[in-house]
Amino acid sequence: MRLGMIIDYSGGFEEAVDQLADYEAAGLGLVAVAEAYSFDSVSQLGYIAARTKKLEIASAIFQLYTRTPSLTAMTAAGLDNVSNGRFTLGIGASGPQVIEGFHGVKYDAPLARTREVIEICRQVWRREKVEHQGKHYQIPLPADQGTGLGKPLKIINHPVRNRIPISVAAIGPKNVELVAELAESWQPLFFHPLKKDLVWGESLEAGFAKRDPELGSLDIMLQMNYAFGEPDPAHLQQVRDQLALYIGGMGARGKNFYNSLASRYGYEAEAKEIQDLYLAGNKAEAAAAVPDELLHAVSLIGDEDHVRARVAEFKAAGVTTFLLNPLASSPERRIADVAKLSEIVSA
């Protein structure tokens, strides 16, 4: 199991990058940058690539709808180049709230688009002339839809690798099946290790049955709030607030993927209550309605015995990478917490 860290959009980017050498010495092997509707992650990943030599870097995630497939491939190849082969392309569909509400792009066919984007990216990295006539992406554009002057092209530069690892954020059954079939890595948000087989077992089995053996085993990469020691109520509240936001407010009724996931975990009544409260503006009450069991299942917050037991559960569920969000108040404590977790996962 490897340890990574996710740098999100809440601030402190330069400070976090300054400390990456210390995190690496503590056992960190990967750093990922989130991209929601704040600063883009490409510029930040390029900066990190220039400031580091060995740490792997990853996007967590590039949204499918905001870049053409060829631009996604070019960007990944560029980041892989400046990092000398250390980049993992994390992609995902995001959701209607961000795609339509911020980017003004129609949110449609996330499953089919994911497949086509992966196919086109790999074609670009192999330096083939890009020719793809799918339902959602046509390259080159057919003459009856454009000028008729577009001809197939291949990327000018030689990518460092002709197969950059792809990690896909997915929680829906069909999306997870596609990940198991096509991707090197899977990023499921709010992963409950004891519910994995119940919620995704059939999807994973169906995808693995179609998987190319050259892809190797599936890396399961989890974003994880982490604090070592006696649980701080403020840290637990931070996780409650995040769960309430996603389960209650990340999408309209019937269109909230995280609400559906909580229901599939068995918290159907709680998910409905959280959403009702959140959409009514009662955010504190919505957070209070988050079940304790779910809060602890999707985070690593506690003393050594608790963390060891939770790590064992994640390992048993096939988790291979943690993307940590260290919650300790000081940089020194966060680095020490990572070092302690490195000892635990290596045991």
Query: Per-residue pLDDT averaged across 260-271, rounded?
Result: 97
Closest CA relative to residue 116, chosen from 131, 94, 99: 131
Q: pLDDT digit string (tens) for 110-145?
A: 999 999 999 999 999 999 999 999 999 999 999 889
- Indicate whether 37 and 114 sit together in one domain: yes
- Indicate whether 152 and 239 sit together in one domain: no
- Indicate whether 138 and 91 sit together in one domain: yes
Query: Per-residue pLDDT averaged across 272-283, rounded?
Result: 97
Task: Quickly count helices (H) and strands (E) in the chain.
Answer: 15, 12
CATH of the domain at 66: 3.20.20.30
- Indicate whether 285 and 338 sit together in one domain: no
Write out the two tokens for 254: 């019937």
pLDDT on residue 10? 67
- Indicate whether 192 and 329 sit together in one domain: yes
- Indicate whether 125 and 271 sit together in one domain: no
- Indicate whether 179 and 322 sit together in one domain: yes
Residue 257: domain span: 230-301
Q: What percent of the chain has pLDDT over 90?
A: 90
More confident residue, 152 or 251: 152
Q: What is the mean pLDDT of the chain?
A: 95
Question: CB under 8 Å to 260, separation ≥6 — which residues?
Answer: 172, 271
CA of 300: how far to CAs of 111, 115, 308, 309, in Å?
Answer: 31, 33, 9, 10
Question: Is the pLDDT confidence value at 11 over 80?
Answer: no
Question: Is the pLDDT confidence value at 166 over 90?
Answer: yes
pLDDT on residue 291? 97
How many structural domains does the chain have?
A: 2
- Indicate whether 118 and 154 sit together in one domain: yes
- Indicate whether 150 and 221 sit together in one domain: yes
Tell me the pLDDT band of 62, cut-offs 50, 70 and 90: very high
- Indicate whether 128 and 145 sit together in one domain: yes
pLDDT on residue 324? 96
Q: pLDDT digit string (tens) for 173-229?
A: 999 999 999 999 999 999 999 999 999 999 999 999 999 999 999 999 999 999 999
- Indicate whether 219 and 319 sit together in one domain: yes
Q: Which residues pair with 91 in a beta bridge?
A: 62, 168
**Is residue 2 within 8 Å of residue 24, measured between CB atoms?**
no
Q: Could you tell me the pTM of the whole model? A: 0.94
